Amino acid sequence: MTAMTAMTAMPAALRVHDLVRSPALQLRVLAGEAGLDRPVAWAHVSELEDPTPWLLGAELIMTTGIAIPRSAVRQRAYIERLHAAGVAALTLSAHLHVPPLHREFLDAAEDRAMPVLELPLQVPFIAVAQEVAAAAQADARNRLSAQVQVYGALRWLAAEDLTAAELFRRLERLSGYSLYLCTRQGHPLLPGVPVPGARHAALLPASADPAPTVPGGHLLPVPAPGGPAGYLLALERQDDGPGRGVPPAGLGVVQHIATVAALQLSMVRHERETLRRRGAELLAELVRDALDPQTARRYLIRLGFTEEALVLLAVLEGEDGAALDDAAVVHALDEAAVPYLVLRRHEGLYVLLADSPPALDALAALARTRAGVSRPFAPGSTFGVPRREACLALTRARASGRALVACGDDTTDRWLHEDPAVLDGLVDQVLGAPLRYDGEHGSALVLSALTWLERDRSTEEAARALHIHPNTLLYRLRRFATLSGRSLSSTADLTEVWLALRAARMAGRLP
């Protein structure tokens, strides 16, 4: 008989209802009948009003009644504490020191499906403890079998080259739990391993060091350098999934699975770091246009990009001169689960990523970061234009105070210089005099010229947009031409004015 067969033949873990049905114990249910399916790991006598610091969860607490407070408020708080600590059931010895039980106490037990049992005076606590211990001994053999096989998880991983998803499917079959992994934000932690669903979201903790027992299973942090990388949620399996008939293997096995998850995460992170370094080398060559298009596409496909999908080039910097946290950018992109390459250069952090809403959302959500993003382009295309677009979009983000600016459909900006000083020089040279005149007289010569050009030099449309008479617009355009020294009927002068207006908008110098 194999270990798996032997384990499935073992009896299931002891439940509260097994003790209630035992004729020798004569237990009576006072409240919380809906929770009789709770597992019982141990029986423990406590006469403390708050025994929770000494509990691990799944204990059957027995008391002569000394532990039960007298007031309704304290009785309710007592049952709530036991429930929060994962206690399986509370057993009261009849006719000893149990005070009158208030309705608030019984209602709290009902609301939380927390079984409250009464034990006849003639039945000693030791009889309950012996029955629980006997069941625990049989369950321990089952758990030991599961532990031995779970300890072999690393051997499977090394010998069979299992993916994280395959490894955790095996662990589910052996442990008797449905296993979920997630980051502290609820995102996937390992590829292919499911995250807790919406109905289990309330089980995720608010603190980094949660209690190990939750209703229906266990919740443990997945250790990593710098603090927990996320959480492992192990919930007892229903009767319709893999591992059917395998009783839950217990907290010890779940703790080892959390360690396996940490080791697997370390391997995944090491692999990602290796790919990241290769990606940085590739991106450096792409930015220099040192690869032919076919070779560039082949390398990008190897690093997770698809051949058909478009890509974006982004340039990132810290907000208001602050240093950019490169690690935070990498972490955000990892959690977004999109292919990307990163490269640190003096002008900022270059990021090549797939053109997708999750990728842009990840960049936009970064704290104290500004980003300029190019228009989408095909993998393998020249990077000269996207690099200029991204740098110019970053300049616009800096001038506007926005966290992220993506290059739009207007392609004029790509021909402007990305250096803000050069842009300011162009604005001063071409538009300096009209801008000063507008500032001194409260006029709108520059705005009028911009509106006229944006409407393809249609005087009627521009005048309507400005809410002025066409003759007034013509006067403003003549005045603008005189002050700027540029003729709006000359192609060369008109081109220079248009580029200067675009530079002024990008630099935030237009009213």
The structural domains of the chain, with segments of one domain joined by +, span: 6-141, 152-267, 288-415, 420-506
pLDDT tens digits for the chain (511 residues)?
233 323 333 345 789 999 999 988 999 999 999 999 998 988 999 999 999 888 888 899 999 999 899 999 999 999 999 999 999 999 999 888 899 999 999 999 999 999 999 999 889 999 999 888 887 776 666 666 666 666 666 566 556 777 888 889 888 888 888 999 998 878 888 888 999 988 887 888 877 677 788 888 889 999 888 788 889 999 987 654 544 556 787 888 888 889 889 988 888 888 778 878 888 888 889 888 888 888 888 888 888 888 778 899 999 999 887 888 888 888 788 777 788 999 998 878 999 998 888 888 888 888 889 998 988 988 878 888 888 888 878 877 887 788 888 876 555 666 676 667 777 888 899 999 999 999 999 999 999 999 999 889 999 999 999 999 999 999 999 999 999 999 999 999 999 998 888 888 777 777 6
Please name the residues in contact with 217: beta carbons below 8 A apart, sequence gap of 6 or more.
177, 233, 234, 235, 236, 248, 254
- Distance, in Å, from the CA atom of 19 to the CA atom of 38, rounded to the nearest integer, reads 11
**Superfamily for the 6-141 domain:** HprK N-terminal domain-like (3.40.1390.20)
Instruction: Give residue-wise pLDDT tens across range 336-363.
Output: 778 899 999 887 899 999 888 888 888 8
Please name the residues in contact with 24: beta carbons below 8 A apart, sequence gap of 6 or more.
123, 127, 131
Residues 372 and 319 sit within 8 Å (Cβ to Cβ): no
Strand 177-183 to strand 59-63: parallel, antiparallel, or no bridges (unpaired)?
A: unpaired
- Distance, in Å, from the CA atom of 50 to the CA atom of 27, rounded to the nearest integer, reads 24
Domain 6-141 and domain 288-415 have a common topology: no
Half-sphere exposure of 313 (CA within 13 A, CB side): 24
- Distance, in Å, from the CA atom of 479 to the CA atom of 473, rounded to the nearest integer, reads 10
pTM: 0.47
Instruction: Give residue-wise pLDDT tens across range 395-428.
Output: 778 877 888 888 765 556 666 766 677 778 888 9
b/e for 232-262, b at 16 or more Cβ within 10 A? bbbbbbeeeeebeebbbbbbebbebbbbbbb
- Distance, in Å, from the CA atom of 172 to the CA atom of 482, rounded to the nearest integer, reads 80
pLDDT of residue 411: 57
Q: Give all strands of the β-sheet with 59-63 in edge-to-edge order.
A: 28-31, 116-119, 89-93, 59-63, 42-45
CATH number of 288-415: 3.30.70.270
Residues 198 and 245 sit within 8 Å (Cβ to Cβ): no
> What are phi and psi for residue 324, nearest 5 degrees?
-80, 135
At residue 433's C-alpha, the angle toward residues 430 and 434, to 5°, is: 90
pLDDT of residue 4: 32
Residues 174 and 150 sit within 8 Å (Cβ to Cβ): yes
Q: Tell whether domain 420-506 is in CATH 1.10.10.2840.
A: yes
b/e for 393-422, b at 16 or more Cβ within 10 A? bbbbbbbeeebbbbbeeeeebbebebeeee
At residue 149's C-alpha, the angle toward residues 145 and 150, to 5°, is: 110
Write the DSSP symbol of residue 152: T
Cβ of 427: how many Cβ atoms within 10 Å?
23
pLDDT of residue 1: 28
